[in-house]
Amino acid sequence: MKQILVIGSRGSKLALTQARFVQSELERLNPSLATRIEIVTTSGDVKTDPLAVIGGKGVFTRELEEALLDGRVDVAVHSLKDLPTIIPERLHIAAIGQREDPRDALIIRADIFELCKTLESLPAGATIGTSSTRRLAQLKHLKRDATLKDLRGNVDTRLAKLDRGEYDAVILAAAGLRRLGLERRISVMFSPSDMLPSPGQGALGLETRADDAQTIAAVSLLDHYATRIACTAERAFLRELGGGCQLPIAAHAVVADQLLHLDGLVADTDGRQILRDKVTGGTNQAEQLGKSLATELIARGAKELLSQLDSLHGIS
């Protein structure tokens, strides 16, 4: 008799694409496994206020975790960047899948693209959409004359708003566009040196109950070593700073030549104050490297900067 594993997912096209990918991989690796997808609506899916107002910590993951805890689902598929760095004690990240492209992408409206093919060539006052304070801060640093406008909704909704002329350009994660087969919409890829990604961006986090050994064994086959190491460092950096996905905190780590290289950043939302540094160490030091880089930026004033932003946005 086949083991039946219930996969929890948000209902957006991107979330379901990611869940179906996980479903197919689990069944490919374990032919004795049967799966089905259960859609769970999160508070982030139904609220329309800016994310900095409704609170970023767990807004896209809390209800999925509740479904895990009450047994409705066996594994929850998250965009890792949305998953808080501190998870409930009874839950466990059983796998972090191989990362897609972690970079951010600029999508310029088609009718102006022939004249404006780069961020720099967009006219002064051009309206650029993003719901991320991390992107907003770095964008203001790159192009101070841009008009920044909040942008909510799933990928299709955001692109439709761009196409209707509500924005001149929008910024989205390249990973989501690629997973949806929409890479043709990308006008410019930001290098991490210009736009440092969110911790965990481009990776999928597969969360299970901590005591469900059978599901953990099945799901752990999807764990990708280099991605887990890199994301462990990025999430340790974020955790040490006490931040969530809606504060201007960025981190990107890569494993190369048997070393882990971590780049981290904290900014104010106006992009005028940016604290940034890098550390390198062994791949067995991921957690420590994340903490040490955060400690360095804290010594340079990161906590005070983030405390001001918490008060400004009412984030707790």
What is the residue whose two structure tokens read 């479903």? 23
Give residue 315's pLDDT band: very low, low, confident or very high (50, 70, 90): very low
DSSP 151: -
pLDDT at 251 over 90: yes
Question: Domains plus CATH for the chain?
Answer: 1-98+203-223 (3.40.190.10), 104-189 (3.40.190.10), 225-316 (3.30.160.40)
Contact 23, 37 (CB under 8 A): yes
pLDDT at 63 over 70: yes
Per-residue pLDDT at 199: 97
pLDDT at 40 over 90: yes
Q: Which residues are 259's β-sheet partners?
A: 256, 282
Pairing of strands 169-173, 127-129: parallel
**Which residues have a catalytic role annotated?**
82
pLDDT at 68 over 60: yes
Give residue 314's pLDDT band: very low, low, confident or very high (50, 70, 90): very low
For the segment 143-172, the average pLDDT, to the nearest whole number, is 95
Give residue 46's pLDDT band: very low, low, confident or very high (50, 70, 90): low
Contact 91, 192 (CB under 8 A): no
> What tokens does 297 get?
């930026």
How much is the mean pLDDT over the chain?
Answer: 91
Per-residue pLDDT at 53: 47
Helix, coil or strand: residue 46: helix
Per-residue pLDDT at 291: 98
Q: Is the pTM value of this prediction over 0.85? A: yes
Per-residue pLDDT at 77: 98
